Structure 1
Amino acid sequence: MRRVAIVGASGYIGGELLRLLLGHPRVTVVAATSDRLAGRRIDGPHPHLRGHTDMCFVGHDAVESADFDVLFLAAPHRKTMGRMAGFLKLAETVIDLSGDFRLHDPDVYASYYGVTHTAPQLIPEFTTGLPEGHRAQLASSDRIAVPGCMATAGILAVRPVARAGLIEGTVQVDARTGSSGSGVSGGPAGAHAERSGALRVFAPSRHRHEAEIAQATGHPVRMTATGVEAVRGVQVVCHAKLASGVSEKDVRSAFRAAYKDEPFVRVIAQRQGLYRLPEPKILTGSNFCDVGFSVSADDGTVVLIGALDNLVKGGAGGAVQCLNVRFGWPERTGLEFTGLHPN
Structure 2
Amino acid sequence: MKVSVVGAAGYTGGELLRLVHAHPELDLVQAVSRRHAGRPVAEVHPNLHHLGLTFHPPQELAPVDTAFLALPSGASAELEAGVAELAGTIVDLSPDFRAGASSASGDVYRTGLPELYADELPGAERISVPGCMATAAILALAPLSKAGLVAGDVVVDARTGSSGSGAEPGPSSHHAERGNAFRVYKPAGHRHEKEIAAHAKVRARMTVTAVPSVRGAQVVCHVTPPEPVERRDVLRVLQREYRDRPFVRVVARSRGVHRLPDPQFLSGTNFVDVGCAVDEDGGRIVVVAALDNLVKGAAGGGVQSLNVARGLPEDAGLEFPGLHPA
The aligned counterpart of 1:91 is 87
- Secondary structure of the equivalent of 1:267? strand
Q: Distance in 2 between matches of 1:171 and 1:81?
A: 32
Query: What is the rounded CA distance, in whole Å, between the counterparts of 1:292 and 1:120 in structure 2?
Result: 41
Alignment partners' CA distance in 1, 2:49 and 2:134? 32
The CA RMSD over aligned residues, in Å, is 1.5
**Aligned with residue 312 of structure 1, among 273, 295, 298:** 295
Match of 2:262 among 275, 279, 282: 279
Aligned residues: 326
Shift of 1:104: 3.4
Residue 129 of structure 1 pairs with residue 112 of structure 2: yes
Q: Is the 8 A contact 1:169 1:241 kept in 2?
A: yes
Matches of 1:138 and 1:68 in 2, distance apart?
20
Aligned equivalent of 1:235 = 218
Asked if 1 retains the 8 angstrom alpha-carbon contact of 2:100 and 2:111, the reply is no
Runs (4+) off by over 6 Å: none
Residue 190 of structure 1 and its aligned partner are, at CA, apart by 0.7
- Give 1:92-107 correspondences, 5 Å limit: 92-104=88-100
Aligned residue for 1:181, secondary structure, equals helix
- Kindly report which structure 2 residues correspond to 1:24-39, keeping only aligned pairs within 5 A, or say none: 24-39=23-38
Do the aligned residues in 2 keep the contact of 1:289 with 1:308 (CA within 8 Å)?
Answer: yes
* Counterpart amino acid of residue 15 in structure 1: G
Q: Is this contact kept in 1: 2:81–2:105, CA < 8 A?
A: no
Give the distance between the partners of 1:184 and 1:245, measured in 2 at CA.
Answer: 45
Deviation at 1:82, TM superposition (A): 2.8
Tell whether 2:240 aligns with 1:253. no
Aligned 8 A contact 1:237 1:303 in 2: yes
> Any idea what the Cα deviations from partners look like across 1:40-87, whole Å, max 9, x if unmatched?
111110000112x11100001111xx3210010001112222332222
Which structure 2 segments of 5+ residues have no match?
Answer: none
1:185 — aligned with what? 168
Q: Shift of the alpha carbon at 1:269?
A: 2.5
- Aligned position for 1:77: 73
Q: Secondary structure at the match of 2:44?
A: coil
Tell me the SS of whatever aligns to 1:213: helix
- Residue 31 of structure 1 aligns with an amino acid whose one-letter code is Q
* AA of the residue aligned to 1:244: E
**Equivalent of 1:294 in 250, 268, 277:** 277
Could you tell me how far apart the structure 2 residues matched to 1:305 and 1:179 are? 20
Relative distance call for 1:228 and 1:87 in structure 2 (3 A) is: same
The AA in structure 2 aligned to 1:168 is A
TM-score, scaled relative to structure 1: 0.92
Q: Find the partner of 2:187 among 181, 186, 204.
A: 204
Q: Distance in 2 between matches of 1:86 and 1:164?
A: 43
Distance 1:237 1:41 in 2: 40
Q: 1:247 Cα deviation (Å)?
A: 3.5
User: How far apart, in 2, do the equivalents of 1:268 and 1:4 lie?
Assistant: 35
Residues 264 and 42 of structure 1: is their aligned pair in 2 closer, same or farther, counting only changes over 3 Å? same
The answer as to whether partners of 1:238 and 1:303 remain within 8 angstroms in 2 is yes
**Pair 1:330 & 2:294 matched:** no
Q: Is the 8 A contact 1:82 1:119 kept in 2?
A: no
Among 70, 84, 104, which residue is 1:119 paired with? 104
Once the two structures are TM-superposed, the CA of residue 120 in structure 1 deviates from its matched residue by 8.8
Q: 1:300, 1:36 → 2: CA distance?
A: 53
Matched residue type, 1:56: T
Q: Does 1:54 align with 2:37?
A: no
User: 1:74, 1:96 within 8 Å by CA — same for their partners in 2?
Assistant: yes
State the partner residue of 1:15.
Answer: 14
